[in-house]
Amino acid sequence: MAKGKFITHQVVADKKPRRTAMIISNILLLIGSLSIVSSLVYLLFNLEKSDSLINLLLPFILAGIVLLIASQLICPFQFKYRR
C-alpha cells in the first residue's frame, strides 16, 4: 500500500525566539547575580559603615533578586512545546 503524505499536526517552532529568550534569560541572571554579589562584597569590606550602607545598597539587592526571578520566569513559559 502506498503511503500518503498526511498532515501530522506537528508545529515546527522557529529556533530563533527560543535562542533569543535563552540569551535574555542568561543576561538577566548574570546582571542580577552580579548586583547581589557586588553589593554584599562591598558591604563586607566596609563593615564599619554598615548601618548607612544598608540603606544605600538595599535597592540594588532587591533589584538583583527581581532580575533573578524574572530570568527564571522567562524559561518555563517560553520553552513549552505546542501540541
- d(Cα 54, Cα 39) in Å, to the nearest integer? 9
The CA-atom distances, in angstroms, between 80 and each of 64, 66, 76, 77 are 26, 23, 7, 6
pLDDT score recorded for residue 59: 93
Q: Which three cell numbers stand for residue 31?
A: 546582571
- The rounded mean pLDDT for the chain is 81
Show me where the domains of the chain are located: 15-78
For residue 71, name the pLDDT band (cuts at 50, 70, 90).
very high
Band (pLDDT 50/70/90 cuts) for residue 69 is very high
